[in-house]
Amino acid sequence: MLKLGIIGQPLTHSLSPVLHATLMHLLKVDGEYRKYELKPQELDKAIASFARDGLRGLNVTIPHKVAVMPLMDALSPEAELAGAVNTIVFEQDGSRKKGHNTDIAGFIRSLPDRFTDRAAEENVLVLGAGGSARAVLTGLIQLGIASITFAVRDPQKAVPLLSHAEVIKQAYQANTKTATVSLFSLPSLESFTGLINTTPIGMWPEDGQSPLTPIQLETLPAGALVYDLIYRPTETRLLQDAKALGLHPVNGLDMLLYQGVCSFELWHGQPVPPNVIPPVRAQLLQSLSKDVS
């Protein structure tokens, strides 16, 4: 049996159990996926216990993505660059545990082809500089994006992120330009071909809010990508406004989906067939509709 799970706190609204239960059902894999709510002080003993109990893998979510890193025997290059672990793989005998970060691959796979195909010409504005922004930064630099500007309330708080960007650029031999700007004094957005929201502004149940006004959004070029990492609700106020302005809105559901698929492939040892993706996405959407109704 493939024994899997997720650790975090809280886990009440996590969609990961639905995602992985659906994958195992469709792929006819005998397994289980459980939720383990852990306090930070319980982490060390719990990880050791999971290794002894024969777990094959864990997803890691807030607030443990950074705290688990020193508990690993090894880290993937992506986990080191992102500075966070969202997936743990235990050796079959429990002797070693390796931390991975599939948020980066999940983000890249969720982007529209027309955006990734011309990555070297894209100039992206990223709202926020928290943990999610670091995964986005790593993915964008890996793609070879022309420039990334972080819009934050306090530009000083983005300084560590910009410093880390230099490490990522060196790792991928990228020439991506990076900068910061105050969220309160944003210039016209006409020079940006993509906008990515990594903040929680607009997340359910405060889903009437938006980090930007329609007046600001309408300065984006026609057809520009507006990506909101939020998937609850599936259409945030930001995405509603972008759609009304003829821009290209994308929510964060596929990032969740693909990071989960990448995790499952690490645990199961086999690629997930493309034809499995649509029914898994449909199941996630069904769960979301129940969750917010």
- The residues annotated with a catalytic role in the active site are 65
Contacts of residue 121, Cβ cutoff 8 Å, sequence gap at least 6: 146, 193
Token pair listed for 140: 């964008």
DSSP one-letter code for 107: H
Asked if 42 contacts 12 with a C-beta cutoff of 8 angstroms, the reply is no
Sign of CA dihedral 176, 239, 237, 259: negative
Backbone Cα Rg of the chain = 19
Cα(36)–Cα(5) distance, integer angstroms: 7
**H or E element: which one contains 37?**
strand 31-37
Nearest to 227 by CA among 183, 272, 195: 195
Asked if 15 contacts 255 with a C-beta cutoff of 8 angstroms, the reply is no
Cα(140)–Cα(41) distance, integer angstroms: 34
Residue with tokens 């290209």: 248
Q: What is the dihedral of CA 111, 200, 127, 227, to 10 degrees?
A: 20
Contacts of residue 204, Cβ cutoff 8 Å, sequence gap at least 6: 232, 233, 292
Asked if 92 contacts 127 with a C-beta cutoff of 8 angstroms, the reply is no
Cα(59)–Cα(33) distance, integer angstroms: 10
- Which amino acid makes up residue 79? A
- Which amino acid makes up residue 187? P
